[in-house]
């Protein structure tokens, strides 16, 4: 559990984001830039309000409820999906998806070797058959 | 009337009915799996459905939406684990009934209450949506702009504890809606130099990420916590007789009627949300039954939230079908489903594709009719099988389906990146207490607001009076002001009374 004052930090992040959006909007010509300028101004204003609220009512400001182990697992999952996207055109749908499902199953704590040997492959093949043959949607590696 | 009869006859075609039936069945199963809910399932199914005939595809989604909401009550009652967010309140009285050996009775009450709420809201959808759509044909840019403002004001007025956070989410959604080419001049905005963003952030992959991938991250969090705490294996209790007797039906009828009415009103108001309807109806049931101790296994404590949440389901489609404004996050997914089928929700849907509009309406009614017996029949079966699926395997399969679904929309790897990015954003939103629904609503309303505002000003030569001179626009703006001012006045009055 990290002792982070959630709303205070959130408001600072949003203030910075709002300012960046505002600066970018200001570089647009007047007509397309009008709406983004309004939105970013509102975002900056609301972020400032949240900051004031979090500072004045500190008892209402919660701590960030996230475990480091959870954060690492989610980070690895996101990296695995990113790697999958990169490898998909090279390995094709079946191989890339099989590796993804197998590695994620193990990462999430699925330990039955008997099922690990069969279920990820069966699930990927089922998915591939449904998309390619029933729905006629070409998947990478089998596009033509 | 003619359109309704045609829709009923169309739904009875085996090629259409089978998809509705399959949808109800899928919804029941996924709803009863903790961590998977109606929005996740719809997000995953939309890319799959777009190759189907529009009638079949939409019936599949209607079936899932109707029954997943009810399916969530099964683990809530049996295991004290809400299958969906909508069943959070059901477990308060459902689980104590299970502990008393009345699991079957609790499941039966939940089923009948859900069907009652669902059928009533289907009737509301049947009569309100076409009438509102006829009225909406009179809408011009000024009216659409005012309608978008009304949507935002309901979010502001009906948001829970932290109104500022809800408004921040709206602003973030509005920002996302500006990404891509400007509707007036075609100038690229916030495209980060990528041509993929010229048409804006791909809507369906974004929803798949926001609801599908984010839900997997939550499952991961739960699994890690369970491993740390060493949680025991799930033991499913005995179910017993499910069908409630006539005496119970008569007892619960007033609760069903009140909760259904609350659910319908909350469903029609964009942004009000299912949870608000559930809490309001549960609160009303508590006030109406002061002699009963809620939280100890009172049947009204199950009937009220279950009737209300299923009443929200169909009624949330009223603003979507008639005005093109989704009532909640799940109906926003329907917007995506209609769009990828080449259909535009709103009054034009009733004008150009009345067969589809009325089919959806009738689909909700028939789906509830199917859900009743299926729920009663499969309640016991689902409780024995579904809870045994390992969460670790389920999570990895959902990831695969999300990625495949996002890619399949237009064979683009960029879509999977969008899904991943919004999965992280969605999980982050949950962690910092930012609600999802206003974000999706703002993305949809943002485009409507900007387009309506600029077109209205172009018509009026830059005069803002156009928004006040038009009676519908003025009415909508007054309603918006009421939504925003009502909670403020209520707060000030309460404060004054306390000071006295």
Any idea what the Cα angle at residue B93 is, between residues B88 and B98, rounded to 5°? 105
Give domain status of residue A82, yes or no. yes
pLDDT band at A20 (very low <50, low <70, confident <90, very high): very high
Of residues B8 and B499, more confidence is placed in B8
Tens of pLDDT, residue by residue over B98-150, are 878 788 888 888 889 999 998 998 888 888 777 777 777 777 888 888 888 88
Asked if residue A117 and residue A97 are part of one domain, the reply reads yes
**What value does the mean pLDDT of chain B take?**
82
Same domain, yes or no: A80 and A127: yes
Touching A: B residues 282-341, CB under 8 Å: none
Minimal Cβ distance to A131: which of B175, B393, B408: B408
pLDDT-wise least confident of A51-60, A64-73, A114-123, B179-188? A51-60
Q: Mean pLDDT across the stretch B398-416? A: 86
Q: What is the pLDDT of residue A17?
A: 93
Contact B264, B120 (CB under 8 A): yes
Give the pLDDT of residue A3: 41
Are A19 and A43 part of one and the same domain? yes
Residue A140 falls inside a structural domain: no
Note whether A32 contacts B423, CB cutoff 8 Å.
Answer: no
The verdict on A74 and A125 lying in the same domain is yes
Residue B53 to chain A, least CA–CA distance (Å): 11
Q: Summarize chain B as % helix, strand, coil (round to 5).
A: 75, 0, 20
B404 — contact with chain A (CB < 8 Å)? yes
What pLDDT is recorded for position B31?
76
CA distance B313 to B67: 10
Out of A16, A35, A64, pick the residue that ends a domain: A64
- Which residues form the domain of A44? 2-64
Name the domain count of chain A. Answer: 2
Q: Is A139 inside any structural domain?
A: no
| Contact yes or no for B51 and A135 at CB 8 A | yes
Are A57 and A77 within one domain?
Answer: no
Last-in-domain residue among A44, A64, A84: A64
- Tell me the pLDDT tens digit for each residue of B456-469: 888 888 888 888 88
Residue A142 lies in a domain: no
Q: Does B194 score more than 50 pLDDT?
A: yes
What is the C-alpha to C-alpha distance for residues B44 and B205, in angstroms, rounded to an integer? 9
Report pLDDT digits (tens) over B59-95.
988 898 888 888 878 877 876 766 666 677 887 888 8
Portion of chain B with pLDDT greater than 70, in percent: 91
Instruction: Please indicate, yes or no, if residue A53 is contained in any of the structural domains.
Output: yes
Tell me, yes or no, whether A111 and A126 share the same domain: yes
**Domain boundary pick from A64, A94, A115:** A64
Model ipTM value: 0.90
pLDDT digits 0-9 by tens, B241-297? 667 788 888 888 999 999 998 888 888 776 656 777 787 788 888 888 878 888 788
Location of structure tokens 């067969």: B355
Chain B CB within 8 Å of residue A39 CB: yes
Q: B306-360: per-residue pLDDT in tens?
A: 898 888 888 888 888 888 877 777 777 888 888 878 887 777 777 778 888 888 8
pLDDT in tens, B416-449: 999 999 999 999 988 888 887 788 878 878 888 8
Angle at B140 between CA B135 and CA B142, to 5 degrees: 115
Local structure of B230: helix, strand or coil: coil
Answer yes or no: is A57 within a domain.
yes
Please check the confidence at residue B302 and state whether its pLDDT lies above 70.
Answer: yes
Q: B202: helix, coil or strand?
A: coil
Same domain as A10, residue A55? yes
Position A58 scores a pLDDT of 61
Whether residue A39 and residue B217 make contact (CB cut-off 8 A), yes or no, is no
A23 and A80 belong to one structural domain? no
- Strands A2-5, B180-181: pairing kind: unpaired
Rounded to an integer, the average pLDDT of B50-62 is 85
A77 and A108 share a domain? Answer: yes
Do A107 and A58 lie in one domain? The reply is no
Q: Write down the pLDDT at residue B149.
A: 86
């Amino acid at each position: 559990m990290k002792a982070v004052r959630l709303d205070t930090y959130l408001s600072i992040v949003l203030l910075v984001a709002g300012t960046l959006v505002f600066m970018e909007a200001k570089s647009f010509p007047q007509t397309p830039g009008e709406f983004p300028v309004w939105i970013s101004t509102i975002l900056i204003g609301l972020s400032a309000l949240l900051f004031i609220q979090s500072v004045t009512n500190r008892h209402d400001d919660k701590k960030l409820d996230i475990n480091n182990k959870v954060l690492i697992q989610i980070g690895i999952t996101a990296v695995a999906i990113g790697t999958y996207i990169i490898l998909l055109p090279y390995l094709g749908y079946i191989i890339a998806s099989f590796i993804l499902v197998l590695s994620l199953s193990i990462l999430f704590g699925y330990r039955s070797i008997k099922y690990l040997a069969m279920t990820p492959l069966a699930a990927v093949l089922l998915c591939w058959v449904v998309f390619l043959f029933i729905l006629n949607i070409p998947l990478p590696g089998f596009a033509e | 009337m003619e359109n309704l009869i045609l829709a009923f006859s169309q739904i009875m075609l085996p090629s259409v009915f089978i998809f509705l039936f399959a949808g109800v069945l899928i919804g029941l199963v996924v709803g009863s799996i903790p961590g998977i809910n109606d929005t996740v399932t719809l997000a995953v199914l939309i890319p799959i459905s777009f190759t189907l005939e529009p009638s079949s595809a939409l019936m599949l989604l209607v079936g899932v939406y109707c029954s997943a909401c009810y399916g969530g009550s099964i683990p809530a009652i049996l295991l004290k684990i809400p299958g969906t967010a909508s069943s959070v309140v059901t477990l308060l009285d459902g689980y104590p009934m299970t502990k008393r050996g009345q699991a079957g009775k609790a499941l039966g009450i939940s089923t009948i209450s859900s069907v009652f709420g669902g059928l009533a809201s289907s009737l509301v959808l049947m009569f309100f949506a076409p009438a509102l759509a006829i009225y909406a044909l009179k809408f011009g840019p000024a009216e659409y702009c005012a309608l978008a403002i009304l949507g935002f004001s309901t979010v502001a007025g009906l948001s829970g504890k932290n109104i500022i956070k809800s408004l921040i989410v709206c602003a973030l959604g509005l920002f996302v809606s500006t990404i891509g080419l400007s509707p007036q001049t075609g100038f690229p905005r916030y495209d980060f130099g990528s041509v993929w963003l010229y048409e804006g952030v791909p809507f369906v992959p974004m929803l798949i990420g926001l609801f599908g991938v984010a839900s997997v991250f939550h499952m991961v969090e739960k699994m890690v916590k369970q491993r740390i705490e060493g949680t025991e294996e799930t033991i499913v209790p005995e179910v017993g007789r499910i069908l409630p007797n006539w005496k119970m039906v008569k007892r619960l009828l007033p609760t069903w009627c009140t909760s259904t009415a609350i659910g319908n009103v909350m469903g029609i108001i964009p942004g009000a949300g299912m949870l608000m309807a559930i809490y309001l109806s549960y609160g009303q049931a508590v006030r109406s039954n002061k002699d009963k101790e809620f939280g100890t296994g009172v049947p009204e404590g199950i009937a009220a939230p279950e009737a209300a949440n299923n009443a929200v389901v169909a009624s949330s489609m009223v603003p979507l079908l008639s005005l093109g404004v989704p009532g909640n996050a799940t109906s926003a997914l329907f917007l995506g489903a209609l769009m990828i089928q080449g259909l535009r929700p709103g009054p034009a849907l009733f004008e150009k594709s009345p067969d589809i509009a009325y089919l959806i309406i009738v689909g909700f009614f028939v789906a509830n009719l199917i859900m009743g017996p299926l729920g009663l029949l499969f309640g016991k079966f689902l409780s024995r099988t579904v809870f045994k699926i390992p969460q670790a395997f389920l999570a990895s399969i959902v990831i695969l389906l999300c990625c495949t679904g996002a890619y399949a929309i237009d064979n683009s790897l960029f879509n999977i990146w969008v899904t991943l990015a919004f999965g992280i954003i969605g999980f982050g939103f949950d962690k910092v207490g930012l609600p999802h629904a206003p974000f999706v609503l703002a993305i949809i309303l943002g485009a409507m607001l900007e387009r309506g505002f600029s077109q209205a000003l172009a018509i009026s030569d830059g005069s803002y009076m156009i928004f006040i001179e038009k009676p519908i626009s003025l009415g909508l703006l007054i309603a918006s002001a009421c939504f925003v001012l009502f909670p403020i006045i209520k707060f000030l009055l309460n404060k004054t009374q306390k000071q006295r």
